[in-house]
Structure 1
Amino acid sequence: MDAPQWLPNFCSLPVLVAVAAVTELAVLLIVLAPSDEPREVLPRLGTTSVYAQWLALLCVVALCKLKPQLSRFAPMRGVLLAYSLIILIVALASELVFLIDQTLLLRLTLPAEFHLRFVVGSTALAALIAAAMLRYFFVLEQWRERVRAVARSQFDALQARIRPHFLFNSMNTIASLIRSDPVQAERSVEDLADLFRAALRSGERMGTLGDEFDLIRRYLAIEQLRLGARLQVDLQLDEMPLDLPLPPLLMQPLVENAIYHGIERLPQGGVLKIFGRRQAGMIEISIINPCPPEAPSARTHNGMALNNIRSRIEYHFGRRGTLETIRGAEQFICSLRLPDENPDR
């Protein structure tokens, strides 16, 4: 089990942008505040911005590189170490900048007699900003950890679940085949074993889109034995990237819902259509099935399953992945959109 995170990824663009924005806001407040500084506002703003952003970048890079070491400590001790590191970096960098300015006579900081004021002032301001930012990041990561924990529990619940009615119906179908067609019965047992192996697989292990398609084909083979001519399948998946990383059993429950809530409840059965396409860095897989008039109980159970799958998609892909459903008068459509990691292949 992964250790709880309390520091963000300082190498990520959102964190860099947040630090830069807060730093620039602090610079604006300092420059626009009443002061006895003889220089004009714009030159001061430019010089102070470059200086402050440089300090912020130094601190972010240091925390980025040292995060693995800091994460080994308890949250409180780790935060204190990160805070102390920021103060130390700013103090040393301020001292270096002041000495360079005095040596080269650039007059970008303060006169020589205000040496201590410059270093201490820079360090104090950095300490205030760092305290606020670290607190913000700490609270944000704790909230994200709780969201991940909820998503993980839903993921595990769905991962280990295959409907009992499917198990019982499949076993009855296999039992009826043992004498009449033992080869087909053996093949169906293997398909069923693969389904349950995937359902009980560790949640940390990612599969591929090709694995999911193979699993769906095995599931459909068992259901076709049970439903016979009532279940017809139309698969159009030739364009799909089979090596795309995918959590196991992401699509199989959608196919199962299409049969259980749709085709199985129609006396004449119907055609289950599954087709995929690639477009603008995304893949879209649509599952279409005929359906009877909607019943309140079916809507409730189907909605719970769809919400669980949406949680799994959000857990693994964030906002880049979506699951949309459209219920028409005679058919139900599930459209799964996922990011294509390598659209050029």
Structure 2
Amino acid sequence: MATSKQPIDAKELIPDLCQVRSVLWLILFSQALVIVLILLSSGAQHFSWEQFGLLSFYVQWLVLVSAACLCRLRLHIPALSLNQLTAISFVLIQAVNLLISLITLYGMNELLLESYSWDWLLRNQLISAILATLLLHYFYIQMQSRLHARSELQSRMQALQSRIRPHFLFNSMNIIASLIHVDPDKAEQAVEDLSELFRASLKMAGAQTTLQQEMDLCKKYINIEQLRLGERLTVKWQVEAPKLTNIPLLTLQPLIENAIYHGIAPSEKGGVVSINIYMEQSRLHIRVSNPICTVQHQRHESGNQMALENIQHRLQALYGHDASSTTEQDEKTFTIHLHYNHQPQVAS
């Protein structure tokens, strides 16, 4: 959680007020505030449309100019403490209000139906100070909520990402031990591949990588499994997506591990794991298919479901409801199909 002295990015405290949706909500909220102020001052029976128009004109200019300034502020101001960011934002809103009030007082006073004085200017500054304080407090609460959700997400992601099955580690170490005297070069390569896998699992949860790097990591995993399974394991790749597409680290590897563990390893004959990756508009599709092993199908079925739930929870933690997974199964083949917008949504 952010403290008052800990440097934070302005983007953490100030939301993106340049988005159309944010501007629309600001306009609707400010108009509602204008209606409330007029009702409190004149009542419903003596509702003044002229006063409503003038006050709406003033408030909309204040809100839109303040939003534009805060939007630019969050992009260019360096990381400061929470107190400093709050103070700068507060002073900025007050300065904008003062500027618009002075323009109204001196530049448009003759056009208005009533003459405004310095009391009106002071009243505007007090109202602006109160509303700015409430707004910045709301921003602070929203920031704390986002940081708390992000912290929980990182913990959940790290737990899901770091689940490399113990049997895979033990099998890999046994393979390396058996190859040391028979084929030292293969043993050395297996150690390097295994270290890459563990290095990836220790990286920050949700870290982004490219599709090419994720595929290279998967091929290292397949090489280790190939030493154990030999000719029983065949992997076919069909990639029709840009290799530089961003993808969360260890998204594809668990799917391949699941396919090998449940479709290839229990079978004496082995089989083929088919990997199809393609892009449709902005959505990345990943399909991984493996043969169904009828010999130990019942024993692996529950484990298969647990593995798929783990993968689904991991993607939902990153992409929310945007991520979708479906499974297809016939008499010979089991397929899992993942698709989601390849632009991550966690940073919001």
TM-score range, shorter chain: 0.7 to 0.9
Per-residue deviation, 1:275: 0.4
- Write the distance in 2 (CA, Å) between the matches of 1:148 and 1:226: 39
Q: Corresponding residue for 2:346?
A: none
Q: Is the 8 A contact 1:10 1:61 kept in 2?
A: no
- Write the distance in 1 (CA, Å) between the matches of 2:78 and 2:243: 39
Per-residue deviation, 1:211: 0.1
Per-residue deviation, 1:197: 2.7
Query: Aligned in 2, Cα 1:260/1:46: closer, same or farther, shift over 3 Å?
Result: farther
Q: Corresponding residue for 1:111?
A: 114
Amino acid at match of 1:230: R
Moved more, 226-235 or 325-334: 325-334
Amino acid at match of 1:86: I
Per-residue deviation, 1:100: 0.5
CA RMSD of aligned residues (A): 3.4
Q: Is the 8 A contact 1:323 1:334 kept in 2?
A: no
Which of 186, 189, 192 is matched with 2:188 structurally? 186
- Write the distance in 1 (CA, Å) between the matches of 2:27 and 2:334: 48
TM-score, structure 1 as length reference: 0.79
Query: Aligned in 2, Cα 1:8/1:250: closer, same or farther, shift over 3 Å?
Result: farther
- Write the distance in 1 (CA, Å) between the matches of 2:54 and 2:321: 39
- Write the distance in 1 (CA, Å) between the matches of 2:303 and 2:288: 21
Amino acid at match of 1:9: P
Query: Aligned in 2, Cα 1:141/1:319: closer, same or farther, shift over 3 Å?
Result: farther
Query: Aligned in 2, Cα 1:44/1:111: closer, same or farther, shift over 3 Å?
Result: closer
| TM-superposition CA deviations, 1:39-61 (whole Å, max 9, x none) | 962x6555443332221122223
| TM-superposition CA deviations, 1:125-167 (whole Å, max 9, x none) | 4344434332322222211111100111223334444222112
Q: Corresponding residue for 2:144?
A: 142
- Write the distance in 2 (CA, Å) between the matches of 1:51 and 1:187: 71
- Write the distance in 2 (CA, Å) between the matches of 1:332 and 1:48: 65
Q: Corresponding residue for 2:13?
A: 7
Per-residue deviation, 1:338: 3.8
| Secondary structure at 1:325 match in 2 | strand
- Residues 253-272 of structure 1 correspond to what in structure 2 (within 5 A)? 253-272=254-273
Equivalenced residues, count: 328
Moved more, 191-200 or 8-17: 8-17
Q: Is the 8 A contact 1:324 1:336 kept in 2?
A: yes
Q: Corresponding residue for 1:74?
A: 82
Q: Is the 8 A contact 1:10 1:16 kept in 2?
A: no
| TM-superposition CA deviations, 1:54-79 (whole Å, max 9, x none) | 2112222333344465852235x643
- 1:27 equivalent in alignment to 2:27: no
Amino acid at match of 1:73: S
Amino acid at match of 1:152: Q
Q: Corresponding residue for 2:62?
A: 55
Per-residue deviation, 1:180: 4.1
Q: Corresponding residue for 2:134?
A: 132
| Secondary structure at 1:241 match in 2 | coil
Amino acid at match of 1:64: C
Q: Corresponding residue for 1:170?
A: 172
- Write the distance in 1 (CA, Å) between the matches of 2:334 and 2:122: 67
Q: Is the 8 A contact 1:287 1:335 kept in 2?
A: yes
- 1:154 equivalent in alignment to 2:161: no
The percent identity for this pair of structures is 33
TM-score, structure 2 as length reference: 0.78
- Write the distance in 2 (CA, Å) between the matches of 1:44 and 1:266: 81
